Amino acid sequence: MVRGLLVLFFFQWLGEWISLATQAPIPGPVIGMLLLLLALLIRQKVSSDLQQSSHMLVQHLSLLFLPAGVGIFFLSEQVLAQWPAIAAAMVAGTFISLLLSSWIVKSQVKSDD
Amino acid sequence: MIEQLQQAFLRFAENSQLNQLSAIILTLGAYQFGQYCYQRSGRLMLLHPVVIAGCIIAAALNYFDISYQQYRDGSQLFYFLLGPATVALAIPLYQEFRHIRLLARPVLITVALGATIAATSAVLLAGLMGAEGEVLRSIASKSVTTPIALGISDKIHGISTLTTGVVVATGIIGALLAPIAFYFCGLRDPRLQGIVLGLNAHGIGTAVAFEKSASCGAFASLAMGLTGAFTALTLPYAISYFGI
Domain range for B149: 88-242
Q: Is residue B190 part of a domain?
A: yes
| CA quadruple B34, B39, B42, B44: dihedral, nearest 10 | 30
* DSSP result, B141-165: TTTS-HHHHHHHHHHTT--HHHHHH
Looking at residue B55, its amino acid is: C
Domain total in chain B: 2
Parts of chain B with a pLDDT under 70: 1-2, 9-14, 100
Same domain, B24 and B96: no
Is B176 in the A-facing interface, judged by CB distances under 8 Å? no
Domain total in chain A: 2
pLDDT tens-digit series, residues B66-97? 899 899 889 999 989 988 988 988 888 788 77
Nearest beta carbon to residue B117 from set A54, A69, A97? A97
pLDDT attached to residue A75: 80
Same domain, A1 and A43: yes
Same domain, B32 and B70: yes
Cβ atoms B88, A53 nearer than 8 A = yes
Q: Is residue B161 part of a domain?
A: yes
Same domain, B46 and B105: no
Same domain, A51 and A82: no
pLDDT attached to residue B110: 93
Same domain, B107 and B222: yes
Secondary structure E strands in chain A: none
Q: Cβ–Cβ of B147/A86 closer than 8 Å?
A: no
Domain range for A95: 77-113
pLDDT attached to residue B10: 67
Q: Is residue B82 part of a domain?
A: no
- Tell me the chain A residues in contact with residue B161 when contact means C-beta distances shorter than 8 Å: 68-72, 74-75
Same domain, B180 and B138: yes
Q: Is residue B234 part of a domain?
A: yes
pLDDT tens-digit series, residues A11-38? 999 999 998 898 776 788 888 988 999 9
pTM of the predicted protein model: 0.79
0.85 surpassed by complex ipTM = yes
pLDDT tens-digit series, residues A43-102? 998 899 999 998 888 778 778 888 887 887 888 777 788 888 998 888 999 999 999 999
The full length of chain B comes to 244
Q: Cβ–Cβ of B106/A109 closer than 8 Å?
A: yes
Same domain, A81 and A98: yes
pLDDT attached to residue B205: 87
